[in-house]
Chains A and B, each alone.
Chain A
Amino acid sequence: MPISPETLTRHELNGLPVRVADAANPDLVGIAGRVVIETMNTLHVDTGATKARRAFGDGDGDEGADGSRVRQVPKRGTTFEFALREASGDEPSSARTGADELAGDEPARTDEAAGGRKAPGSASELPSDTAGVNAGQSGGCEGAVYVTVDGERLLSRPAHRTENAGDSKWR
């Protein structure tokens, strides 16, 4: 199951370009870079990764210059914006928005999950809050899909997140 806006909260976050869209701590807003370490409650963002920052239309700015390149951002109370490479063919256009389209392919995903080798119980996956498809922010990032995720959805041990992505209906 390739990484997509629906599977992002269950998938590997390390290595993805990320930007802090909103945070309880205003100092953290705007941090852009690459996720290098994930812990249960935080993400470590390497702001020196210029390639990842360019995905958000950020040139070589001030962040990479100072000594501390890896910033630790709490997941709770933060809204992250991940940039996904649009390599898979199931999302031909980046103009894919709205809950109806997401809801439309939910049944298909559920069937796959049932027939797959050992899909973690993903039948109840809510459509992840995919808002930002803001293509054409700057050059060189046309093939990216921007996914906005509430950090609360990521609160889990990294190895457990494939199984429980904070979308249980029992809470």
Chain B
Amino acid sequence: MPSIAEERIDRLHALAREAAAEREFDRAREYVRLARRIAERNRCGLPREFKRFTCDACDAYLRPGANTRVRLQPGHVVIRCLDCGETARYPYE
């Protein structure tokens, strides 16, 4: 059974996605920050999808095509946040 903190993070993830879809990027950023703070206070980590779709540097919720560039390189995906220019990479099979 997920704890309240985990459920809050799930809800905030959905809210951030929704806000980003409505181009309210600053509001989405607040939701991402709050979710991160809850995760760190309750030591419960963040879902992988949340990590992949948020910018580590500026907390933006990333929407490919809107504020994100996604490129494939041999062995890894490169995600660049177009708000702050931060690049994140993760491997793929």
A contact set with B: CB distance below 8 Å: 1-3, 7, 10-12, 14-15, 36-38, 112, 116-120, 158-160, 162-163
Picked from A15, A36, A118, A159, the residue with its CB within 8 Å of the CB of B3 is A118
Which secondary structure dominates chain B's binding surface?
helix
- A7-B4, A12-B7, A159-B37 given; A37·B27 CB < 8 A: yes
Q: Is there an interface contact between B7 and A11, defined as CB atoms closer than 8 Å?
A: yes
- B38 close to A (CB within 8 Å): yes
B binding-site residues for A, Cβ under 8 Å: 1-5, 7-8, 11-12, 14-15, 27, 30-31, 34, 37-38, 41-44
Closest 4 CB pairs of A and B: A159-B37, A12-B8, A12-B11, A15-B15
Q: In the complex, what distance in Å separates the CA atom of A10 from the CA atom of B15?
A: 18
Are A162 and B38 in touch, CB under 8 angstroms?
Answer: yes
Set of chain A residues within 8 Å of B34, measured between Cβ atoms? 14, 38, 158-159
> In the complex, what distance in Å separates the CA atom of A90 from the CA atom of B14?
23
Task: Indicate whether A15 sits within 8 Å of B11 (C-beta atoms), given known contacts A36-B27, A159-B34.
Answer: yes
Q: Cβ of A10 and Cβ of B38 under 8 Å apart?
A: no
Identify 25 residue pairs between A and B in the complex whose beta-carbon atoms are under 8 Å apart, listed by A's number.
Answer: A1-B2, A3-B7, A10-B4, A11-B7, A12-B11, A14-B11, A14-B15, A14-B31, A15-B11, A15-B14, A38-B34, A112-B1, A116-B3, A117-B3, A118-B42, A119-B3, A119-B4, A120-B4, A120-B42, A158-B34, A159-B37, A159-B41, A160-B41, A163-B41, A163-B42
The binding surface of chain A is classed by DSSP as loop
Q: Tell me if B1 and A14 are in contact (CB < 8 A).
A: no
B-side contacts of A38, CB under 8 Å:
34
Given A36-B27, A120-B4, answer yes or no on A159-B11 (Cβ-Cβ < 8 Å): no
| Distance in angstroms between the alpha carbons of A158 and B33 in the assembled complex | 11
- Bound-state Cα–Cα, A118 to B41, Å: 12
**How far apart sit A160 and B41, CA to CA, in the bound complex (Å)?**
8
Alpha-carbon separation in the docked complex, A159 to B8 (Å): 10
User: Are the C-beta atoms of B27 and A159 separated by less than 8 Å?
Assistant: no
Assuming A159-B34, A159-B41, what are 12 further A-B pairs, CB within 8 angstroms? A11-B7, A12-B8, A14-B15, A14-B31, A15-B11, A37-B27, A116-B3, A117-B44, A118-B3, A159-B37, A162-B38, A162-B41
Chain A residues near B8: list those with CB within 8 A: 11-12, 162
> Known interface pairs A1-B3, A158-B34. Does A118 touch B11 (Cβ–Cβ under 8 Å)?
no
